[in-house]
């Protein structure tokens, strides 16, 4: 069973700053990684996913993979109060996703 670890936080950043979220994964052979955002009382929604072949940027969000150290990062530039949520990292495991427990992000205005 693959494992995904995340710091539960909360991570507090001022509005306009860069928020950096990390997760570590146990299986060195993992190739697909996902970041979901979950607002309080709502269901998770996909922000972005990356493959083992490189980083990815989408608007204010950048996902980076460090295969040597087995961690995935999500950078949020120009953080906004609306980015305050729990961010879930997930790793593909066959037909399934294995989720971390999530990191709470708070953006202070």
Would you tell me which residues interact with other proteins (CB under 8 A)? 1, 6, 8, 32, 34, 42-46, 49, 51, 88, 92, 95-102
Residue 74 CB, nearest approach to other proteins (Å): 16
How many Å is the Cα radius of gyration of the chain?
A: 13
Cβ atoms < 10 Å from Cβ of 22? 19
Rounded Cα–Cα distance for residues 94 and 25 (Å): 15
Among 7, 31, 3, 32, residue whose Cα is nearest residue 19: 7
Specify the residue, 85 or 88, whose C-beta has the smaller distance to other proteins.
88
Specify the residue, 6 or 62, whose C-beta has the smaller distance to other proteins.
6
Residue 44 CB, nearest approach to other proteins (Å): 5
Specify the residue, 55 or 78, whose C-beta has the smaller distance to other proteins.
55
Tokens of 7: 């710091």
Cα 49 from chain centroid (whole Å): 9
Specify the residue, 25 or 44, whose C-beta has the smaller distance to other proteins.
44
Residue 41 CB, nearest approach to other proteins (Å): 9
């Amino acid at each position: 069973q693959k494992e995904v670890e995340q710091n539960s936080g909360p991570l507090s950043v001022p509005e306009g700053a860069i928020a950096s979220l990390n997760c570590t994964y146990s299986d060195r052979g993992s190739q697909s990684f996902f970041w979901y955002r979950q607002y309080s009382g709502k269901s998770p929604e996909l922000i972005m996913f990356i493959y083992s072949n490189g980083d990815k940027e989408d608007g204010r969000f950048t996902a980076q993979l460090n295969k040597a150290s087995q961690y995935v990062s999500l950078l949020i530039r120009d953080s906004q109060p609306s980015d305050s949520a729990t961010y879930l990292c997930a790793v593909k495991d066959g037909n399934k996703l294995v989720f971390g427990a999530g990191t709470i992000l708070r953006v202070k205005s």
